[in-house]
């Protein structure tokens, strides 16, 4: 469509155009029902087919073993910050937390509200403004931890774990909200994964939770309010209450599109190409495009932060980019500068367009 911009917002973020066009075509009459999918009961067979297909596609793309369950829930990552310790940190049970950014820090603080000192911070790079990830020797996992929590991609700061923390077999629990499904990965070290959909999966309002059976069996049941129990959502196939049906429908569309283009292997190739293009440009102009992340190996291929020499140039960059059809480039309020969020739906050609703009901008202003 001629009037669509290139969307670099950090979330809610860009969605694949074919997934939106499918929704457009079906909006008023879904599956011959004479209704929008937004109008159909979540107990109907038409909606149930969409719901189950979304879960099946997640399982297929990640090749999930049978001992993992998929939950589709509301509340975003914020609910999971509290729901995870509420289910698993009871009667003195302990968990370890690694803080590598703003959202990882919030997850830890919420766990402290639930579990007090039994939520333990074992590594942090906050003194360096989260400009790098902890090195392996800086992470000391406690052998009595029920899980080790970390955030796989730090949306604000632009760092990303390319290999996951070693825990000696203790289950990982991970907030993957901003890089879930950017590539295929082995889920077996993970006891629990959660991801808000609004960055890399679909619209806001849906959260994907994947939980391994052994952790599910340890979760509290009757001691918690019903909605806060992982067990009840698994038992009810994420239909305990009215789910965000339209959001799950769009999630289904996105996952089906991901499968159609070659799955996570194809998506990873695109994402790595985008990272090479953008960081290549930044590295060609190190005095003009100044990266926030201090260790190149920690650079995110989802969110890229950099600064121009002056605030005036930062503002001019954002305004000129918008005039050229590129939006969402203003940096996060706590950091400033420029942030490029290039989730799965952002294409390689769109990054080439941005890089060409950056090259020309640098020639004029460097």
**For residue range 120-139, what is the model confidence (pLDDT) as tens digits?**
999 999 999 999 999 999 99
Q: Is 34 left (phi over 0), alpha (psi -120 to 50) or beta?
A: left
199: annotated active-site residue: yes
Tokens standing for residue 237: 């196939």
Q: What is the pLDDT of residue 154?
A: 98
Q: Edge-to-edge, what's the strand order for the sheet holding 338-341?
A: 290-291, 303-307, 338-341
Q: Which residues of the chain have pLDDT under 70?
A: 1-2
Q: What is the pLDDT of residue 1?
A: 58
Whether this prediction's pTM lies above 0.85 is answered by yes
Cα torsion angle, 105, 107, 112, 118, sign: negative
Closest by Cα among 304, 287, 311, 290 to 366:
287
Catalytic site residue from 69, 199, 274, 330: 199
Q: What is the pLDDT of residue 60?
A: 98
Catalytic site residue from 96, 103, 305, 330: 103
Radius of gyration of the chain (CA): 21
Asked if residue 127 has a cis previous peptide bond (ω within 30° of 0), the answer is: no
Closest by Cα among 257, 258, 225, 356 to 62:
258
> DSSP state, 37?
G
pLDDT tens figures, 175-189: 999 999 999 999 999
Catalytic site residue from 69, 161, 175, 298: 175
Q: What is the pLDDT of residue 3?
A: 87
Tokens standing for residue 301: 């291929």
175: annotated active-site residue: yes
Q: What is the pLDDT of residue 366?
A: 86
* Strand, helix or coil for residue 120: strand
């Amino acid at each position: 469509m001629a009037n669509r911009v290139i969307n670099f917002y950090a979330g809610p973020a860009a969605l694949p155009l074919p997934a939106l066009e499918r929704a457009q075509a079906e909006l008023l009459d879904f599956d011959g029902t004479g209704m929008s999918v937004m109008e159909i009961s979540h107990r109907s067979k038409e909606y149930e087919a969409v719901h189950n297909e979304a879960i099946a596609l997640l399982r297929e793309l990640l090749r999930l073993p049978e001992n993992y369950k998929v939950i589709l829930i509301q509340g975003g990552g914020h609910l999971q910050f509290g729901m995870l310790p509420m289910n698993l940190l009871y009667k003195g049970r302990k968990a370890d937390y690694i803080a590598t950014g703003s959202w990882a820090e919030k997850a830890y603080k919420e766990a402290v509200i639930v579990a007090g000192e039994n939520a333990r911070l074992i590594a942090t790079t906050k003194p360096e403004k989260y400009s790098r990830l902890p090195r392996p020797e800086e992470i000391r996992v406690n052998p009595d931890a029920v899980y080790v929590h970390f955030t796989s991609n730090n949306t604000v700061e632009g760092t990303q774990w390319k290999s996951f923390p070693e825990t000696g077999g203790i289950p990982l629990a991970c907030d993957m909200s901003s890089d879930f499904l950017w590539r295929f990965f082995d889920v077996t070290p993970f006891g629990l994964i959660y991801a808000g959909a609004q960055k890399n999966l679909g619209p806001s309002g849906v959260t994907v939770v994947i939980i391994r059976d052994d952790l599910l069996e340890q979760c509290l049941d009757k001691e918690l309010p019903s909605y806060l129990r992982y067990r009840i959502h698994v038992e009810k196939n994420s239909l305990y209450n009215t789910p965000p049906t339209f959001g799950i429908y769009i999630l289904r569309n996105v996952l089906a599109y991901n499968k159609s283009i070659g799955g996570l292997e194809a998506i990873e190739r695109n994402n790595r190409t985008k990272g090479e293009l953008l960081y290549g440009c930044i590295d060609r102009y190190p005095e003009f495009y100044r990266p926030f992340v201090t260790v190149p190996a920690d650079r995110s291929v989802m969110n890229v932060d950099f600064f121009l020499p002056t605030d005036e140039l930062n503002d001019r960059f954002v305004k000129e980019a918008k005039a050229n059809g590129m939006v969402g480039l203003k940096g996060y309020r706590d950091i400033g500068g420029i942030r490029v969020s290039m989730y799965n739906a952002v294409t390689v050609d769109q990054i080439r367009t941005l890089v060409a703009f950056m090259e020309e901008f640098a020639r004029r202003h460097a």
